[in-house]
Chains A and B, each alone.
Chain A
Amino acid sequence: MNATKNIRTLIASAAMVLGLGAAPALQAAGPAVALDRFPEGKLTDVAALQGGAKIYMNYCLGCHGISQVRYNKLRDIGLTEEQIKSNLILTQAKFGDPILSTIPLKDSKEWFGKTPPDLSLTARSRSSGAGTGADWIYTYLRGYYLDPSRPTGWNNTVYPAVGMPHVLWELQGQNRAEFKKVSSHGQGSEVFSRFVNEKPGSLNPAEYDNLVADLTAFLAWVADPVAQTRKQVGVWVLIFLALFMVFAWRLNASFWRDVK
């Protein structure tokens, strides 16, 4: 993910050199608030991934499927078939079935007006110039605040007018958001300033952040389960190609010695 960010910076700075100050489109699509950085160490932390899976099955799967992943695939984050079957399959699903939302699509469409999206690829699709998709999820799940003007009573700093209520509110508690007035170019607008806790949840803020980070790590793995393998294979491929380059270079030199 760092490599991706570097390339983006590189391309953006190349554009700056050309005298184009405007933010790239990929940035323009980003959210209104600056994203917090998801602790990326969690991506390779098996305990975090397993913890995230547990939270997902308990809090998210009721509405959101991750249909691109099968239950048996969870063995890749260090779980045994027994553990998965007895702890994580909370529906009638078989071990080899895709992880579908508990609520039938037709019902959720009828009840909510819109089927809650499948989250298989959210950690990739929410990437932007503002941060990785994981950064987005990590900030989003910590960005809920009370807003009586919304039908659910909840709003979100990352995703204004979000349809989903704060599912994890018992854990985080209830926050109020404070906004400050800023004016630029003679136009006044309100910008998010900070959260104020109204009612504490069962976890303290540090514990809640950690739980969200676990959940985010799981969703990042769900979106790109092959990412770690890919990088490991990549190192060997590059080492091989570097050696190949040396041979190709010497081979070329030995032939071209004749060309005068």
Chain B
Amino acid sequence: MAAEKQVQADGLLGWVDRRFPLISLYKTHLSEYYAPKNFNFWYFFGSLAMVVLGIQIITGIFLVMHYKPDASLNAAGIPVAFASVEYIMREVPFGWLIRYMHSTGASAFFVVVFLHMFRGLMYGSYREPRELIWIFGCMIFLCLMAEAFFGYLLPWGQMSYWGAQVIVNLFAAVPLIGPDLAIWIRGDFVVGDATLNRFFAFHVIAIPLVLVGLVAAHIIALHEVGSNNPDGVEIKAKKDANGIPLDGIPFHPYYTVHDIMGFAGFAILFAAVVFFAPEFGGYFLEYNNFIPADPLVTPPHIAPVWYFTPFYSMLRAVTDVFTWTFVAAALLGAYGFYRFKPFGQMGAYAGMAAMLVLAVLFRLLDAKFWGVAVMGGAVIILFFLPWLDKSPVKSIRYRPSWQKWLYGIFVVNFFVLGYLGVLPPTPVGQIVSQLGTIYYFGFFMLMPLWTPLGEFKPVPDRVIFQAH
């Protein structure tokens, strides 16, 4: 039998704590979780992502109370699903607020998550011992994309419908099983009622469940190893007599009050959009989506919502001619295995063989398939970041200046790809997005080569902090 638990509290708290590790959880995750004291602006976005997740779940519950995933037409000839969203907007008391919070929340989620991920990229927060935090984070990002995609079908407008049609059809590009796979996903030969109902199930049950689990894993892993900081210095390396990091401060109250301030700033921007520009110029709510889904009328231009457009651009960049770039990259990769032998002699042979097979496949299979692979690969490659970055320092602060330019170009490139993804395809846009795709992948895949190069600045022993 386990030893009697030491409980300091009495009364109700003591009663609970003898049965549930309430006080120790509180200490581990809040009052005695020591976070570096030099967090800056970029460290707001983790807690804000949790806030937006909360907004989405709570508003989502109320939306589900009134929304009907039904593609059949009502007496006025309007699809029931579409009409039920308008019903929420017009007849449910404050339904418009709930719905706009949810639709704005979707975009806000991507804003804060993109910024959160970029923070990790800048300060090397994915480096040892935080690889798992990063991997959980990448899985959260994948879930988020799936969640947004499934959710976007539900209003059953023209963009919902045709966006889903385009994306599901991409799966038809998979060799051999593609067409059957696409039918299996849709549950029909075209996007229809079956698709709407299963997407609804994924959107409200399956994905959120996984998402919440991953967020928990993300935070547990974070609290196990401790937060990184803008200097990339391990605060646990310097502790006081009580074993508390010298540069650490208890998360509660210091970062709780800090994050409340961050929340206030976020809430102002969020409310400004919700109340004064919920369509956000057609970027958060596409204008075409105010037309009910019509399987017989294809819109002249189908654009995904803004957060998918960088990836959509990369998908569109992959033309038949462009796959020669992949062939060249594969041949370079084969040469790399031959020259550097990163995994030994046998590894070099295996790597060269794999690269040559890939080079052939790049030309053998349809470019459309490789477009899909590139779009997926643009997210998958993030998983490997902890092992691609070979820099002797974590934080961008101590990296060579020219490397900061590479990060800067990476950001601009991401914006350009996003912008091009909104536009109908043009010849110039295609070339720019192809160059952008090369830069995006080159940035990550060549990391083992460029990150160790150059003149690094000395990393301080302690974090840099100016008292407020």
Residues of A within 8 A of B (CB): 3-5, 7-8, 11, 15, 18, 20, 22, 24-26, 28-29, 65, 67-69, 73, 98, 100-101, 105, 115, 118, 120-121, 124-129, 133, 223, 225-226, 230-231, 233-235, 237-238, 241-242, 244-245, 248-249, 251-253, 255-257, 259-260
Residues A22 and B429 in contact, CB atoms below 8 Å apart: yes
For residues 67 through 113 of chain B, which have their beta carbon under 8 Å from a beta carbon of chain A? Answer: 74-78, 83, 86-87, 89-90, 96-97, 100
Q: Report chain B residues within 8 Å CB of A118.
A: 76-78, 292
From B176-184, B232-240, B258-266, give the one contacting chain A. Answer: B258-266
Chain B at the A interface: SS class: helix
Q: A251 to B253, alpha carbons, bound, how many Å?
A: 10
Chain A, Cβ-Cβ closest to B421: A25
B residues apposed to A, CB below 8 Å: 37, 74-78, 83, 86-87, 89-90, 96-97, 100, 249, 253-254, 257-258, 260-261, 263-265, 267-268, 271-272, 274-283, 287-292, 300-301, 303, 412, 415-416, 419-420, 422-424, 426, 428-429, 465, 467-468
- Top 4 nearest A-B pairs by Cβ distance? A234-B275, A67-B76, A8-B281, A125-B290
Min CB distance B219 to A, Å, is: 22
Determine the distance from Cα of A155 to Cα of B388 in the docked complex, in whole angstroms.
62
Taking the nearest CB of chain B, how far is it from the CB of A236, in angstroms?
A: 9
Tell me whether B291 and A125 are in contact (CB under 8 A).
Answer: yes
C-alpha spacing A150/B422, complex, angstroms = 35
> Given A4-B280, A244-B264, A257-B468, 8 other A-B contacts at CB below 8 A?
A18-B412, A28-B423, A68-B78, A68-B83, A115-B77, A242-B268, A251-B261, A252-B261
Q: In the bound complex, how far is the Cα of B87 from the Cα of A241, in angstroms?
A: 29
> Contacts A18-B415, A238-B271, A238-B275; is A120 near B86 (CB within 8 Å)?
yes
- CB <8 Å contact, A231 and B275: yes
* Cα A253 to Cα B257 with chains together (Å): 9
* Nearest CB in chain B: distance from A67 CB, A: 3
Closest A residue to B302 using CB positions: A25
How many angstroms from the CA of A242 to the CA of B429 in the assembled complex? 42
Query: Could you pull out 12 A-B pairs where Cβ atoms are within 8 angstroms?
Result: A20-B420, A25-B423, A26-B281, A28-B423, A124-B290, A125-B289, A230-B96, A230-B275, A230-B278, A231-B276, A235-B275, A237-B275
Complex interface: chain B residues within 8 A of A20 (CB): 416, 419-420
- Do residues B467 and A28 form an inter-chain contact, with CB atoms below 8 A? no
Among B265, B268, B290, B428: residue with most chain A CB under 10 A: B290
Interface of A is mostly: helix
By the criterion CB–CB under 8 Å, are A237 and B271 in contact? Answer: yes
Q: A28-B424, A120-B86, A125-B290 are in contact. Are A15 and B277 (CB under 8 A)?
A: no
How many Å lie between the Cα of A233 and that of B376 in the bound state?
Answer: 42
Distance in Å: Cβ of A256 to nearest Cβ of chain B:
5
Chain A residues whose CB sits within 8 angstroms of the CB of B87 once the complex forms? 68
Chain B contacts for A127, CB-based, 8 A: 279, 282, 287
Chain B: minimal CB distance from A103 (Å): 12
Distance A11 CA – B282 CA, assembled complex (angstroms): 11
Partner of B281, one of A11, A121, A252, A253: A11
Contact of A252 among B260, B278, B287 (CB under 8 A): B260
Contacts of A29 in B (CB 8 A): 287-288, 300-301
Q: Which residues of A contact B86 (CB under 8 A)?
A: 68, 120-121
Return the contact of B260 from the options A121, A251, A259 (Cβ within 8 A): A251
B271: which of A100, A101, A234, A251 is its contact (CB, 8 Å)?
A234
Q: In the complex, what residue of chain A is closest to B263 when comparing beta carbons?
A: A248
Q: Is the CB of A234 within 8 A of B267?
A: no
Q: Are A245 and B424 in contact (CB-based, < 8 A)?
A: no
Closest to A69 in B: B90
Find out whether the CB atom of B290 lies under 8 angstroms from the CB atom of A121.
yes
**Nearest Cβ distance between residue A220 and chain B, in whole angstroms?**
13
In the complex the two chains form, is A18's CB within 8 Å of B419's CB?
A: yes
